[in-house]
Structure 1
Amino acid sequence: MAVLITGGLGHVGSWVATHLARAGRKVIICDMAAAHFDRMGLDYLEEVRDNIVLESVDVLDTHTLFETFLRYQDELEGVIHGVSVIAGPTFKTRPFRHLSINAMGTLNVYETCRLLGIKRIVNMSSGAVYGDASGQLHETTPYKATDLYGATKISGELYGDQYSETYDMDIRQARLFFVYGPGKKPSHMHAVYQAMFGPLEGLKGVHAANGRDQITDWTHVEDTAQGIVRLFDTPAVPHRHYNISCGVAVSHQRIVELVSEQLGYDSDMQLGPGPFVVRGAPLDIQRARDDLGFTPRYADIREGLEDYRRWLLGQS
């Protein structure tokens, strides 16, 4: 049997694929970057290349999406949907394109699965569905969109719930939060990420315009991935929505300080006032602990930073 992952060459998707492939499972990765895999530097995924099939697919191309899913229909356990334009100030610069990828792309995956009788889907949603709600955020916290990205994630969940109800499908929502770790170099990310994690790669003197006053869950990418795999693999779950994060809130400024402490020197990283994106925190992960046996390995971000640094050193 096989698992198909859309966006399987993205930061989270590539680690989900790695965890599945390491367990000996066949993984079909549908990603527009498939042709460039050999140049992406995903060393951990290259190690399990024999269990990986790469397909170049745009989730907005409904015909190619359907034809690709159809080709593997008889061997699929299910689908993990991870294609998404990430949150950030640039999301609103091309609203129709970004909204289409996140909302219509998700709907295209659901509909293709419905037509082909593929029942189980895990959708990579987001803690952005809670917006700026205060306090510890539980899966029963009401939806609240405070930006366009959050609105796309709410729509993806609502589509999923209704497809599950109407067509007897098993669509599960993994509400992810801010992710860091191996697979993404800080130098390839936005300025706030660079200011926090960049010194681990040797960056210095990054001055971001905002982000200093934000407190949120930063979850190691492998913890995020193993939570998604657990949600996919658990035979029957009593709920459709699960927070998948470290469950521990930490301030952006504190991360800057912890990185300096780990390195033993100050890299002149500065965060400007205000949040990077408006979000509440932390996510409550007790439901995932109880139902999925999910336990973050890197709940202490200092250990996660050490692991991230080791990976970055190996890339130089």
Structure 2
Amino acid sequence: MSVLITGGLGHVGSWVAYQLAKQGKRIIIADMAAGHFDRLGLDYLEEVRDQLVLESVDVLDYHSMFELMLRHRDDLEGVIHGVSVIAGPHFQQRPFKHISINATGTLNVFEICRILGIDKVVNMSSGAVYGDAPGPQNEATPYKATDLYGATKISAELYGLQYSDTYGMDVRNARLFFVYGPGKRPSHMHKVYQALFGPLEGLDDIQAPNGSEQALDWTHVHDTAAGIVKLFEKDSVVHRNFNISSGVPVDHLQIVEHVADITGKRASVTLGPGPFVVRGTPLDITLAQQELGFTPKFTDIREGIRDYWQWLKANAD
């Protein structure tokens, strides 16, 4: 059987693809970057390359998505939807484009699955659905949109829940939080991420406009992917929304100190005042632990940072 992953070459999606492929599954990756896979530097996917089917497609191109999923329908056990524009200061610069990708792109996937009879869908959502509600937030915490990104994630979740209720589909929402780790170079990320993790890549003199007055439960990408895989593989679930994170908040300035200690070098890093994005923390992962058996490995972020550093050194340009 096969699993189709939209955004399967993204940071989280690529590790979900890897973990499922290591279990022997055939993975269909629907990603606009598929045409230049060899230039993405995703070394871990090379290990399972023979089990990957790469399809270059835009989730906003409904007809191409439909044709792709129709071709693979008979072998599909389900879909993991991971295409998303991440939260950050750039999101509001092109609101229509980014909202369309996150909301309409998700709706396209649900509708195609409905028509083709593909019932099982895991939607990669976000802890942004809680907005600035104080933590710890569990899955019963009410929706609260405090930015456009969060609004897109709430709408996508509601689409999925209503498709489940109306058409008998099995749509599950994985509420992810801030992710770091192998597969993404700090130099390709926003300034706050660069300030926190950039020295692992050798970056120096990093000036971020904000983020110093915040603690977030940053989650190693291996743990994030493992939670999504567990949610997908669970035969049946009682609940439909699950927090997937480390569950452990860490102060941003402490992360800077950990990175300096681990690398043995203190880079010039400045985080400006205030939060990066307004979020409560942490996500309460009790439900995922109890119902899915989800157990994050890197709850000590220092271990996660060391792992990230090893990957960056092994994949230095």
Indicate the residue corresponding to 1:26 in structure 2. Answer: 26
Indicate the residue corresponding to 1:287 in structure 2. Answer: 287
1:179 and 2:191 are equivalent in the alignment: no
Shift of 1:279: 0.6
Deviation by residue 1:185-229 (Cα, 9 ceiling, x = unmatched): 001111111110011111111011101111111000010000000
Indicate the residue corresponding to 2:228 in structure 1. Answer: 228
User: 1 CA distance for matches of 2:236 and 2:188?
Assistant: 39
Indicate the residue corresponding to 1:59 in structure 2. Answer: 59
1:313 and 2:310 are equivalent in the alignment: no
Amino acid at match of 1:69: M
Shift of 1:262: 1.0
For structure 2, the 5+ residue unaligned runs are none
Deviation by residue 1:122-175 (Cα, 9 ceiling, x = unmatched): 000000000000120100000000000000000000000000000000000000
Shift of 1:30: 0.1
Shift of 1:261: 1.2
Shift of 1:263: 1.6
User: 1 CA distance for matches of 2:215 and 2:155?
Assistant: 26
Cα RMSD, aligned residues only: 0.5
Indicate the residue corresponding to 2:10 in structure 1. Answer: 10
User: 2 CA distance for matches of 1:135 and 1:168?
Assistant: 33
Indicate the residue corresponding to 1:161 in structure 2. Answer: 161
User: 2 CA distance for matches of 1:81 and 1:196?
Assistant: 28
Percent identity over the alignment is 69
Shift of 1:90: 0.6
User: 2 CA distance for matches of 1:95 and 1:129?
Assistant: 17
Query: How many equivalent pairs are there?
Result: 316
User: 2 CA distance for matches of 1:123 and 1:227?
Assistant: 12
Amino acid at match of 1:37: F
Residues 29-108 of structure 1 mapped to structure 2, 5 A cutoff: 29-108=29-108
Residues 182-261 of structure 1 mapped to structure 2, 5 A cutoff: 182-261=182-261
User: 2 CA distance for matches of 1:107 and 1:127?
Assistant: 19
Amino acid at match of 1:297: K
Indicate the residue corresponding to 1:134 in structure 2. Answer: 134
Query: For 1:89, what is the secondary structure of its paired residue?
Result: coil
Give the alignment's TM-score, normalised by structure 2: 0.99
Query: Where in structure 1 do 4 or more consecutive aligned residues deviate above 3 Å?
Result: none
User: 2 CA distance for matches of 1:161 and 1:104?
Assistant: 15
Amino acid at match of 1:172: R
Give the alignment's TM-score, normalised by structure 1: 0.99
Query: For 2:32, what is the secondary structure of its paired residue?
Result: coil
User: 2 CA distance for matches of 1:47 and 1:236?
Assistant: 31
User: 2 CA distance for matches of 1:121 and 1:86?
Assistant: 20
Amino acid at match of 2:10: G
